[in-house]
Structure 1
Amino acid sequence: MGKHADPDTLLLRMPSLRAVKAFVAAAKYESFTRAAEALCVTQAAISRQIRELEAFLGAQLFVRVGRAVELTPAGAIFFEAAQMSFVNIAQAADRIRSTPVHKHVLTLCCSPAFSAFWLSHHLPEFRANNPDIDLNLVATQNFVNMEPGVEPDIIISKIPKVAEGYKSYPLCHDVIYPICTPLFLEQHPDINTLEGIRDAALLNLSPIGRSGVAEHVDWGVWFAFQNIDLDERPACAPPILNANDYSLIINMVLSHQGIALGWNQLVEGMLERGVLVQPVKQQMTLRNSLHYLACRENAVDDEVGSRVRDWILSKFER
């Protein structure tokens, strides 16, 4: 005898998906007739499905305006949720249908900054050498409480034990130093000293909204490490810009708007290409914390998972 399943309250509370599909089409086209044409059914079928949905919800969803229909307040609430759900379902179906059987899909999760500045620099090489692997990249700052359905094979973060079922490998310490463009340094030669940098146009990474990140280093912390008091900036110094988006700060640096702190693993490629420079040699190394690569344990021995893992580890060996 099969195992008895308890009633699923969530599924029992769900209306008919066929009725919801008819509703979404009618709301999108503001017409039962056009909805019927789009779904290749009769107008009577659309009307019947919407009547059944309204009866299920106990609310009117449409009002007639001439030959068209408009959503009621209740209909607008339901359309917003239903439309987004159908978009998610359609996109997931497209990913499944469009993935060739010989392709291997691996989900990699990391911070937006790591994705923008490290992965974007190294991915062309990986994709050229691994054409049979499709990487699904998920950028987030919240590695502990991810969205439902996000189950990464590999996570790159500063959390030693990101979740059960993952094996962690150390990648690197944070090495942090000032960065600017060669043009900005040429225009402001006085920033070749710590005091000159302190008094210059500083672009500061704010901790606001970054609670999911480990320790935070801003200009105040960095200067204190160098025994420099940021509060001693003269009144005539340019205002400090604060932003919690590292991509914005780097883009402002690249457009010669000021000096920012550079995390070595993120900016070393731009330094090597000469796009950025270090106006001073002083730096700060956080030796009490590391970045980690966390690999799902069932992917450790998987040929594809181990290939991606070993490729990332090889980039940090030096």
Structure 2
Amino acid sequence: MKLPPLKSLPVFEAVARLNSFSLAAEELLVTQSAVSHQIKQLESYLGESLFLRTGRTLALTDEGRQYLESVTTALLQIERASEQLLGEETSRLRLACFSSFAVRWLVPRLPELQRRYPQLDLSLEMTTENPVLSDRVADAFICINQPSQAFSYELLYRERMFPVCSSDYWEKICRELALNRQEGDDRITLSPEQLARFPLLSTYSIYDRKVGDWHNWFSAVGQSLPVTARVQHFSHMLLALEAARYHQGIVLTNDYMLSNRDDADDFVRLPCHPLATGYQFHFAWKTSRRRERGIQILRRWLVEEAIADGLRADSESD
């Protein structure tokens, strides 16, 4: 078996992760010259430059980035295998997921996860965009669709969006439209034209274009957003939902945003058509790490919670 100088691999990983020779030396409790020596030894063995050094600026080369991906995975697998043989029960796991999903759905459920699986040490990395699937970022991910063939996926939710507002604002809508509440809310249906009479709260990040959410919602029934519609813009769904909570208008949101058990009753889902966005939320993990206990514990728990919350049907899969 032909292997590179093994002592240099953790050094290379630390330098790449911290983007600094000095910080890597501090973390590894060695001198900076020792770090430089290990990197030079590894580059000499590989016959490739792993870092670009321009003054005080340090960056990975293309070869360095490619090598780091494999080295990080290998080091993590060695760490996990060693922990199992040592009898250590704790499974440390980094999960990267969208901030809206983390704040509104995942975080409120973490106490139950910790109660059932105290051996799972979970840390969260929140992202505003689809997370980059890499061991450098996290060990597991909640992502949209299936962006990489090197990963395995478990379906959690097929997104649909629908209009909601605060309970007080729903009363305002009923008064201004002279809706007959005596028949019950389930007998009321609002048309897109009626909705457009009230302020619409729009989230840019859903479709990455101005008022894309409401344009798509109206298009789903063959209509156009009226030019007279009053639209208030927000960069993130969390902000738009908070604005709706404080009676500022009507927002398009999805199921997991309304599943927070502490404040779900603050909102009213309006009797209108839903919009299927085509986005599918998956739990993702690198296929080569499929036997790791922590990943499988988290996978099973997420699926159980998604089914219990109605995000995914019991029999549903990819």
The one of 144, 147, 155 equivalent to 1:158 is 144
The one of 202, 227, 231 equivalent to 2:226 is 231
Number of aligned residues: 230
Q: Deviations over 1:237-259 (max 9, x none)?
A: 6x311122111111111122111
Q: Deviations over 1:152-183 (max 9, x none)?
A: 2x2111131x3353211222211110011111
Q: Deviations over 1:16-57 (max 9, x none)?
A: 849x98xxxxxxxxxxxxxxxxxxxxxxxxxxxxxxxxxxxx
The one of 257, 263, 268 equivalent to 2:248 is 257
The 3-state SS of whatever aligns with 2:110 is: helix
Q: Deviations over 1:181-234 (max 9, x none)?
A: 1111112224744322112111101149959xxxx951111011123321243x
The question of whether the paired residues in 1 share the 8 Å contact of 2:202 and 2:233 is answered with yes
The 3-state SS of whatever aligns with 1:174 is: strand
**Fraction of identical pairs, as percent:** 18
TM-score (norm 2): 0.60
Equivalence for 1:197: 195
Equivalence for 1:74: none
The question of whether the paired residues in 1 share the 8 Å contact of 2:133 and 2:148 is answered with no
Amino acid at match of 2:163: P
Q: Which runs of 5+ in 1 are unaligned?
A: 22-76, 79-100
Q: Which runs of 5+ in 2 are unaligned?
A: 27-54, 57-87, 178-189, 308-312, 314-318
Alignment partners' CA distance in 2, 1:269 and 1:15: 41
Deviation, 1:299, is 3.9
Whichever of the two has the greater Rg, that structure is 1
Equivalence for 2:168: 183
The 3-state SS of whatever aligns with 1:176 is: strand
Equivalence for 1:240: 231
Alignment partners' CA distance in 2, 1:167 and 1:223: 35
Amino acid at match of 2:102: S
User: Does 2:304 align with 1:314?
Assistant: yes
- Pairs within 5 Å for 1:214-225: 218-225=213-220
The question of whether the paired residues in 2 share the 8 Å contact of 1:270 and 1:276 is answered with no
The 3-state SS of whatever aligns with 1:170 is: strand
The 3-state SS of whatever aligns with 1:131 is: coil
Deviation, 1:265, is 2.5
TM-score (norm 1): 0.60
User: Does 2:155 align with 1:170?
Assistant: yes
The 3-state SS of whatever aligns with 1:316 is: helix
Q: Aligned in 2, Cα 1:104/1:156: closer, same or farther, shift over 3 Å?
A: same
Amino acid at match of 1:204: S
CA RMSD of aligned residues (A): 4.0
Q: Aligned in 2, Cα 1:251/1:228: closer, same or farther, shift over 3 Å?
A: same
Q: Aligned in 2, Cα 1:145/1:313: closer, same or farther, shift over 3 Å?
A: closer
Q: Deviations over 1:83-137 (max 9, x none)?
A: xxxxxxxxxxxxxxxxxx5422111111111111111232222122222211111
Alignment partners' CA distance in 2, 1:247 and 1:207: 11
